[in-house]
Amino acid sequence: MAEQKQGLVVAKLMPQQNPVEQLQARFKELEVGFKTWLSKQSLPVEAAVVTATSALQGAAIGGIMGTITNDLSPSFSPPPQANLNPQAMASLQQAQALSGGPLVQARNFAVMTGVNAGIACVMKRLRGKEDVQSSMVAAFGSGAMFSLVSGLGGPNQVTNAVTSGLFFALVQGGLFKFGQKFSQPPVEDTHYLRTRSMLTNLGLQNYEKNFKKGLLTDSTLPLLTDSALRDVKIPPGPRLLILDHIQRDPGLKGARKK
């Protein structure tokens, strides 16, 4: 009886987990398990599964977009017995392709995302890496298929499919390079490791750019003078702190004597 009461007290004292956090953790576990299982499958199986799951996601997005733009569809319908020239009809078909109902847009986006993910999966397995070339090939395939399925290409489907594929490839390549540029961590300048540490300890890290502008590297720390720091526009107070730190640092002080 005492043990049961003690267990109840402990249970009350333990913090209750957030149901949303529990759901997120469970979803993360399922996602990791699914990716682990998928990585062990053969190339055809992995490509088929990735294509199918991506197509379902694209269909959901397309259905939502089609619901939003469904009210615009009647405005792009030609009047009865209208005699339109081929260019006007092609433009009208392109507008209809982008403003179709939920089912139409679900189909279009399912094809586009599914083909893109499937080709990217195959390219990654074959080449052993995910780079801009693989991304552009996948985008070309998805753009061409989107053009054919949606009717975006107009009368000359083959030519317009190639044009749409090239456009998708160029856009995807640019986005890949843009994301790659900003996702990479900045390269650390090894010439300012001790300088950066010193300034951080003194709370003067904002003046690192002044050191770099004056080419005052780690090797020049023992030689620093008030005039040198003044030349790189460091205020008097920070100059005093920097010089005092150098004077007190045994390593820098020894290097200055030498």
Please tell me the distance from the alpha carbon of residue 90 to that of residue 76, in angstroms, as a whole number: 12
The answer to whether the CB of 83 falls within 8 A of the CB of 119 is: no
The answer to whether the CB of 142 falls within 8 A of the CB of 163 is: no
What predicted TM-score, i.e. pTM, was given to this entire model? Answer: 0.54
Residue 155 has what pLDDT? 66
Residue 4 has what pLDDT? 54
Q: How many CB atoms lie within 10 A of CB 245?
A: 16
**Cβ neighbours for 98, distance < 8 A, ≥ 6 positions apart:** 69, 150, 152
Write down all domains in the chain, each with its CATH number in brackets: 31-71+97-183 (no CATH), 192-256 (1.10.150)
Residue 10 has what pLDDT? 45
What are the pLDDT tens digits along the chain (258 aa)?
A: 555 555 454 445 444 556 777 788 788 888 888 888 888 889 899 999 999 999 999 899 888 887 877 655 454 444 554 454 554 445 445 545 555 678 888 888 999 999 999 999 999 888 888 888 899 999 999 999 988 888 765 567 788 889 888 999 999 988 888 887 776 666 667 888 889 889 988 889 899 999 999 999 988 999 999 999 999 999 999 999 999 998 888 766 555 544
Please tell me the distance from the alpha carbon of residue 101 to that of residue 66, in angstroms, as a whole number: 5
**Tokens read off for 43:** 């190339």
Choose among 104, 93, 86, 72: nearest CA to 152: 93
The answer to whether the CB of 115 falls within 8 A of the CB of 52 is: no
